[in-house]
A and B are shown apart, each in its own frame.
Chain A
Amino acid sequence: MSNPPTGAAAELELDVGRLRRERYAKLQAQMAADGLDALVLLHGPHVAYATDCLPVAADATHVSANRPVAVVLADQSQPCLLGGDPDGLDVDPHPAVWPDIDEGAADLGAQLDAILGKTARGGRIGIDLMTGAMRRTGVLSAADITDAANTMAAVKLHKTVDELACIHQAQVRTSAAMATVQEALVPGVRRSELAAVFLRRLREEGIDANMIDVIFQPMARRMADGPRTTTGHLAFPTWSGDPVYAEGDLIWVDAGSDYHGYASDFGRTWLVGRPPTPGEQRCFERWLAVMDASYEAIVPGATFAEVCTAATAADAAHQPHGERPWMPHFYLVHGVGIESAEMPFLGTDNGPDFDAANTLEPGMVLVLEPAIWDDGTGGYRSEEIVAVTEDGWIPLGGGHPYDPFEVPT
């Protein structure tokens, strides 16, 4: 049985210049492969990928109101950045636009026509999003438009060494903040108090981008006592107001924050004010067995299905109905990077054919999040992040203890 993996990733050192150069080269190569003359990007993480202008961790309405826009032209040595803060970036800066309002969208259209030149009239342009205002004002209406999603998905799938370093840093710092939060989890404390500690500690760890309203969800011990679901299974992670925690409560924790535009994903199971019961500890040990089997199966060339099969086999003795040891609305594994959940996805409702047709490759980042549930007792869920290498995997972040559960020796 395994302690949380630690080690190799400590050697990852972020080189911002190299991060920018390598991503931009990948983007140019993928545009050539996809036959694109230009990319016009409005989705924050995409803009960050192209320009290193980092997304703002604010409400969606604020982020979209005066969001920066990136334009990448084939064979140009640097991207154009409309708005945002170009200070210190290797970009061709242009004035800010407000793409959500009609006057701003018209400004954006004029700027795009000037930047793109004749590409705006008949060139092939990948775009990831248009606002209603851009549609109303006819932005790029004379261009041959295609979706940028596939181009961005292709470049994101395999991480560069600096992308791995960012994810590692995000995870290490999120974990450090969570260590303080767990100390504050005592009977009578409220969810808002834990959130307050977490948000302060994140900033003290040098992270100013909290990406999800942090989840400390008290789990009903029987699914029938929890929210109703479309799957007939667990409801997690839900909005849960501001509960007060009592001794013995089972808390599933989930958090994600950004370091230099790359997401962490912290998941743990905590208990309030007491050690686990034997039944709770057994759930944890089943979870460890699933993790061990998954780690074993993660090698380049393995199909997604092979990893899912190994994880399922490790818990089969406890699953009389053949259920898989993860929540049916989620997955055994999701990727993480500029998005908190991105390809690769293993064990989703894309189905067995999808899992059989896709294979692990070096540079993919995997967040393992199996979940064990024993209805009436409760369950165990944590998350660990690994990066696939040429000959196996290395942990990112890692080393955060499973307290108050004990890893058997």
Chain B
Amino acid sequence: MSLHLQRRARAVDALASAGIDLLVAGRQDHINYITGAHQLWTAGARPFGPVCTLNVATGEIFLLSTWDEGVPDDIDLDHLHGITWSGAIIYQRLAATPGIAAAQRVGIDAWSPGMAGLLSAVAPNAEIVPADDILLKARRTKLPSEVDAIRAACAVAAAAAAAALAHPGTDAQRLAAGVEAMALAGSSTPAAEPQVQGPIIDFSCIRSHYEGGLGRTANGAPPDARPHAALIAACVPGATGHDLRLAAPDGDWLIRGLGMGFEPPVINSRYGAHETLEANMVVSVSATTATEYARDTVLVTESTPEILSPEEP
């Protein structure tokens, strides 16, 4: 089964377990997870709107896309909605979605007063509930192909980091060189904002829907002495946020999920004490000490954590 269908099956199971009849998704990462469609990347978070609907019982999907370029074959042209500028057309399409009128629970991945009014009108019998947490929980552990995609994205980010570290110019010039190298290596879309501040660099990208990234300090310590080394070693199945706090160095640190972009859990000195790591989760692990910053992309395994980002640079 193709990767996007495996992912969709996970999402459908999770939504069904939560008693959700219909999902109305507006966040591009959730839409990518479920549909596998390649749509134009734009920076920043959009306002909430109905970009994709998924009928949990039948698996029927409607996707906002004027064309079938980038859309997997399992979503037919007659299940694509062209882009519209009309609120009336958005209403008509939602109202015509099979199953919405009778739905008891409609899941959404963000909320606005305007969209809440619209959904109440087209799904008069339904409780409108947030489903972002259900989807993100389903996404937490990664399939083998997802890990491969993340590893490939890490290699692209590493090419950017190497170019920025090697460039002799100003921070701005090194950053430009890094971004240029990242595009040549396979991604013209950042995950986080790239950073070059003196010896400290951090690059990340989205490549074929998946994030990869790393952070380094020029002429820093060898890998096993980097500021986040103990934190990485502590990323084992069953480790709680509390356990990870005990392994953290003095200074800022963050462990957070990584997959189709930034994902939960978020574990730092303030949040996530109750979170628990599981095998096949992928996390970004970063730490800063007085002299050094480092970040890596790490796969939690049944044994020792596997670092997916290249050791060099």
Query: What residues of chain A have their CB less than 8 Å away from a CB belonging to chain B?
Result: 43-45, 55-65, 67, 98, 100-104, 127-136, 145-147, 149, 192-193, 195-197, 199-200, 203-204, 208-215, 226-231, 235, 237-242, 329-331, 340, 345, 348-351
Contacts and interface: CB of A to CB of B under 8 A. Distances in A.
Contact of B40 (A226, A237, A241): A237
Contacts of A102: 133
Contacts, number: 216
Contacts of B29: 60-61
25 contacts: A55-B43, A58-B192, A59-B190, A60-B28, A60-B44, A61-B27, A63-B45, A65-B256, A98-B271, A101-B271, A101-B272, A129-B110, A134-B111, A136-B133, A149-B114, A193-B183, A196-B179, A197-B180, A200-B177, A235-B69, A238-B70, A329-B82, A331-B85, A349-B85, A351-B86
B44 to A, nearest CB: 5
A196 B270 CA distance: 38
B42 interface: yes
Contacts of A56: 43-44, 193
B113 interface: yes
B132 interface: yes
A351 B89 CA distance: 11
A67 to B, nearest CB: 7
B130 interface: yes
Most buried by B among A44, A63, A127, A214: A63
Nearest to A206: B172
Q: A67, A127, A229, A231 — which one has the most chain B CB atoms within 10 A of its CB?
A: A229
Contacts of B83: 329-330
Contacts of A350: 85-86
B190 A58 contact: yes
Contact of B111 (A63, A129, A199, A230): A129
B192 A132 contact: no
Given A193-B184, A199-B188, A200-B179, A128 B112 contact: yes
Interface in B23-58: 27-29, 38-48
Given A101-B271, A349-B89, A235 B191 contact: no
Interface residues of B, number: 70
Q: Which 4 A-B pairs have the closest CB atoms?
A: A61-B261, A132-B130, A235-B67, A132-B132
A238 B266 contact: no
B260 interface: yes
A209 B179 CA distance: 12
B296 interface: no
Contacts of B69: 226-227, 235, 238-240
A203 B182 CA distance: 14
B113 A127 contact: yes
Contact of B130 (A58, A136, A238, A340): A136
A79 B173 CA distance: 35
Contacts of B264: 100-101
B271 A104 contact: yes
Contact of B45 (A44, A227, A228): A44
A348 B41 contact: no
B177 to A, nearest CB: 7
B175 interface: yes
B120 interface: no
B40 A228 contact: no
A316 B84 CA distance: 25
Contacts of A208: 175, 193
Nearest to B77: A228
Given A61-B263, A101-B271, A329-B66, A200 B27 contact: no
A192 B192 CA distance: 20
Contacts of A44: 44-45
B4 to A, nearest CB: 15
B41 A212 contact: yes
B80 interface: yes
A345 B43 contact: no
Interface string B112-126: 111000000000000
A203 B130 contact: no
A231 B183 contact: no
Given A61-B29, A103-B272, A230-B82, A129 B47 contact: yes
A245 to B, nearest CB: 16
B41 A213 contact: yes
Given A132-B131, A146-B113, A331-B85, A62 B184 contact: no
A204 B173 CA distance: 7
B21 interface: no
B84 A211 contact: no
B188 A196 contact: yes
Contacts of B70: 238-239
Given A64-B45, A211-B44, A229-B67, 18 more contacts: A58-B192, A59-B211, A61-B191, A62-B191, A62-B193, A65-B256, A103-B270, A129-B111, A130-B112, A131-B132, A192-B183, A196-B183, A197-B180, A200-B180, A204-B176, A235-B69, A331-B85, A350-B85
Nearest to B80: A230
A231 B272 contact: no
B186 interface: yes
Nearest to B268: A98
A135 B262 contact: no
Interface in B238-269: 256, 260-264, 266
B68 interface: yes
Contacts of A238: 40, 67, 69-70
B180 A43 contact: no
Contact of A132 (B44, B46, B109): B109
B77 A230 contact: yes
B288 interface: no
B113 A147 contact: yes
B155 to A, nearest CB: 15
B189 interface: yes
A59 B43 contact: yes
B10 interface: no
Contacts of B85: 331, 345, 348-350
Nearest to B114: A147
B189 A149 contact: no
A199 B131 contact: no
Contacts of A348: 85-86
Interface string B179-213: 11101101011111100000000000010000100
Given A44-B45, A101-B266, A130 B111 contact: yes
Interface string B80-103: 111111100100000000000000
